[in-house]
Structure 1
Amino acid sequence: MSQSLVSFDLEVGVEDIREVESTGPAVNRDAFVQLLTKSQLGLMRYITTLVGDPEAASNILQNTNLLLWQKAGEFEMGTNFDAWATKIAYWQVKAYGRDRGRDRHVFSESLSSQLAEDSDDLKDMDLTIQLLRSCLQRMRGGDRELLTKRYNSGLSIQQLSSQFGKSPSAIKGALLRSRRALRVCIESKMAQARSS
């Protein structure tokens, strides 16, 4: 992700806050803006991981920023802002997925949920991404190619079926097994990293 993208998101996020400031809740605005500003890079990484599309993630981040500001009165200063903001971002990602339906560039809701569960703490996000890459590299070539074509290239089940010469149900089954294997690998490596 480019630094300019993060800077742009932060700039637009602050503009959005200024726009709704007059109708926003009565909170310590300076402290809240500091927490919100500090969380931008982590939220962008989190959202991008869930949707797989930096441009869509940027839009979701802006919606998340507006919602965070609107709900600022619900946030209790001194509690974990990142966890609270991440939960709101998660629901914004789910809303985006529902709105986009079966768009070929959107991760499935189940995959987004799995990725979100693996990323409960934003501090673990970098580690999770590293582990995801490592686990992908260790997968069998065919499984890795299938996942890459499905989620990076955005090919549909039908297109994959044609390319691999297998039935759509066989492709769905292979994707399910590959995602499960990937998740098991990530969870195992995460547990090892946390215990050492």
Structure 2
Amino acid sequence: MPRDQERSTSHYPAERIESDEKQELFVRLLMQHERRVYGYILSLVPNWHDADEISQNTHVWLWKEFDSFEPGTNFAAWAIRVAHFHVLTWRKQVSRSKLVFNQEFIDLVGEEQVRGGSRLDDTHRALGDCINELSCRNRDLLAQCYAEGAVIKEVAKSQNRTIGSVYKTLQRVRLALHKCINRHLAIEEAT
């Protein structure tokens, strides 16, 4: 770091440094759990536009109230609870619509999202471990087949294979991944 920058950062007030650390922690936690929170919202709201707006309102509220969050506690549960209240507010606004879920359904989905979220995190972690256990050839095939815009016909042509052969291999790889994930989850549950 150049001396000018080093000197200028050392003159920041303590609140500024703490504020930067707070902001970094918030961004890290939000990015880590954003998909779960958005998934929860989307499970209760029938259209993407409304879900996006509720998600944005939730993020703003989470930032404003981040001082009340206790580090080390479950950020996802806290964020989903906040999203829950934003969904309720949205429901009041669109109560005249024909497609509105009742309160009991919303409460059940919220509880399930919090309970199932940690299981989903464990499954995602196990999937990463299991993909790493695959042979290089099978990992490459997965990467090619699941790349954005991938077409199996083109993947087969690039590997000088038939389309049927690629599908069969993918089927075997997915089955192996499924078994591997279940094995990893069983080990985690046993410990």
Task: Compute the TM-score of the two structures, normalised by the length of structure 1.
Answer: 0.48
TM-score by length of 2: 0.49
Q: Look at both structures and tell me which one has the larger radius of gyration over its CA atoms.
A: 2
